[in-house]
Structure 1
Amino acid sequence: MGPVLADSVRLTDDGVEILDRRVFPAERVWVHCASVEDVAKAIEDMVTQSSGPYFAALWGMVLAAREARSLAAEDARAHLAKAGERLIATRRTNNHLRKAVAAALSGVDGQTGDDLAAAVLAGARAGDERYRSRSAALGRHTAELLPDKATVLTHCWADLYLVELVRAAAGKDLAFVCTETRPYLQGARLTAETLAEMGVDTTVITDGMGAAVLSSGRVDALVTAADRVTMDGHVVNKIGTLGLAVAAHAFDVPFHAMVQAPDRLAPTAADVPIEYRDGTEVLNRPGIRGLYPAFDITPPRFVTTVVTDRGPFSPRQLGSYYEEIP
């Protein structure tokens, strides 16, 4: 059995079940989504985050194919296209949603009825397997960069990347320091809970403590996931990553950003839309505004390594990732 959050989105006979990460681990509540719109709303409302939306989109497209079983080929294609657009639009900074939709539709070629549903299900299952295998490779490559008994500072919730890193580093006796990651506290609730579940030495700090901890000499590496990495080496990740990366750079602590692959559709940081969420998620008080950019962008000069499923790369040499890929 793996950690709970490694399997938090499930396809059922009558919908998609999503573990509500907004209340985990205090409660284990599964949100039932009976339609594509239900799945999209769950993603928008932060029922699931990190890689969760990828899996939700995979299985959401299966629901769309089930809905289209009674439609003629042209109408079925239009229904799937609309469903894919709706899911991709839920959170545009991370490109996982686009990849999930493409994976689910990869075997669609004019089928209708049950054949269409079967084709989309096969594509979604292949997308699920591919994401997990690439995450495992990413974890192995990242583990190789860390010394034995390393103390690792991490931010937000790196999901399967973190799970696979811990598995790959078995025997290295790693310890982790997790930032709380306001306002949803993914670090304090999701990262810390999963690390503890896997038997890892885990410490939680507030977001404002990161620079001081990095200055202490007790941290061997800053390791985070990346929602997207541009071809020129900018790392887009949960808000707060930039500040930690700058502090790590100042105190000679390497920053390793984990991503399955750099995004060829994002040559530069200007090509990545940054999601701004409602400021009331930060502060809800009359007469005072809250500001919530959900992501920030770390320039390559503050990034030591971009670790991919094909190994580590300098942020300035990411083009070589695709040299052997047509």
Structure 2
Amino acid sequence: MTPVLADSVRLTDDGVEILDRRVFPAQRVWVRCGGVEDVAKAIEDMVTQSSGPYFAALWGMVLAAREASSLGPEEARAHLERAGARLIDTRRTNNHLRKAVHAVLSHVDGQAGDALVAAALEGARAGDERYRSRSAALGRHTAELLPDKATVLTHCWADLYLVELVRAAADKELAFICTETRPYLQGARLTAETLAEMGADTTVITDGMGAAVLSSGKVDALVTAADRVTMDGHVINKIGTLGLAVAANAFGVPFHAMVQAPDRLAPTAADVPIEYRDGTEILDRPGIRGLYPAFDITPPRFVTTVVTDRGPFDPLLLADYYREVS
């Protein structure tokens, strides 16, 4: 079966519909976005998360093409480039938005009117297929690293990377432990729900329990997705990943970080903007401030393997990923 979150953004005749992950799974509410600015706002407001923003950006660019269909070729291209910049700026730590925008823009070259919309749609469909096929490869390579009947600790990890790993490891009888992942509880709501939909053995723990669980000797691997991996092996992911990676290292548990490809535009961690969200999202009381960095950076010494669509790599040897394909 295909879990709900694996298909949570859809293009319609009059807009883009996005499943509201802020209330899922308690409610299944679809937010309609009539234009590209609505899509951008939905991404910023966390209506969609994990892989969702990638697909939202793909179809948002199609809406931008529809908006520009009455313009001449140069004006239309400029409109799409402005729309792409707006979408990329919504969540700058994850580079998937940049890739989604590029997937559409690379198919648009001097068209106008219906031809422009058709070209944008072709690019979006190609980007959708490419992301899904690379995620399937990523899942297979990660499954090969895990022993039969392994217990896997996860953190804020849902959508296609997770789905494809579970599918690839169907005969291994994996069990999963999911951190809550505060403050949005993505692990308790999104990761755990997706695993349960797929029939996996699933346990939820609070974020503060991670080190204790890793020390128990009952966890075979820490496995997370990565929002971005730099060329020098730093893993950028949901806040809390660093603490789990350090604890895993201390207790001899391997940490496998899943990413389709390391980012050639990010040689070091200093090249990745870390998003800070409004502190009121975690605390809103008079006289007390909240601090909310949405992501943290795990140095390569705490990362066992970076798993890509081309297989596993030592985090210090990621340049080999691109040498192999050149």
> Normalising by the residue count of structure 2, what TM-score does the alignment of the two structures yield?
0.99
Query: CA deviation digits over 1:189-238, x for unaligned, max 9?
Result: 00000100100000000000000000000000000000000000000000
Divergent runs of 4+, >3 A: none
**In 1, distance between residues paired with 2:91 and 2:171?**
37
Q: Cα offset for 1:324?
A: 3.0
In the other structure, the counterpart of 1:161 is 161
Tell me the residue number matched to 1:214. Answer: 214
Partner of 2:50: 50
CA distance in 1, matches of 2:308, 2:324: 15
Q: Tell me the residue number matched to 1:24.
A: 24
For 1:172, the equivalent position in structure 2 comes to 172
How far off its partner does 1:79 sit? 0.5
Contact 1:21 1:46 in 2 (8 A): yes
Per-residue deviation at 1:287?
Answer: 1.1
Distance 2:285 2:12 in 1: 40
Equivalent position of 2:65 in the other structure: 65
| 1:57 match: secondary structure | helix
Structure 2 residues not aligned, in runs of 5+? none
Cα distance, 1:155 vs. partner? 0.1
How big is the shift at 1:325? 2.9
Asked if 1:15 is matched to 2:15, the reply is yes
Superposed displacement of residue 173, structure 1: 0.4
* Alpha-carbon distance in structure 1 between the residues aligned to 2:113 and 2:255: 49
Residues 179-258 of structure 1: pairs in structure 2 closer than 5 A:
179-258=179-258
Secondary structure of the residue aligned to 1:136 is helix
Say which SS state the counterpart of residue 286 (structure 1) adopts. coil
What is the distance in 1 between the residues matched to 2:201 and 2:279?
34
Q: Is the partner of 2:256 in helix, strand or coil?
A: strand
Per the alignment, residue 82 of structure 2 pairs with 82
Query: Aligned partners of 1:325, 1:149: CA distance in 2, in Å?
Result: 34
Letter in 1 for 2:318: L
Partner of 2:309: 309
Matched residue type, 2:138: L
Moved more, 106-115 or 242-251: 106-115
Contact 1:158 1:224 in 2 (8 A): no
User: What SS does the corresponding residue of 2:292 show, helix, strand or coil?
Assistant: coil
Q: Distance in 2 between matches of 1:62 and 1:324?
A: 33
Inter-partner Cα distance in structure 1 for 2:116 and 2:108: 7
What RMSD over aligned residues (CA atoms) do the two structures have, in Å? Answer: 0.6
Q: How many residues align?
A: 326
Give the aligned residue type for 2:276: Y
Q: Residues 158 and 194 of structure 2 are in contact (CA less than 8 Å); yes or no, is this contact kept in structure 1? A: no
Q: In the TM superposition, what is the alpha-carbon distance from 1:107 to its structure 2 partner?
A: 1.3
| Residues 237-296 of structure 1, C-alpha deviations (whole Å, 9 max, x = no match) | 000000000000000000000000000000000000000000011111111111000000
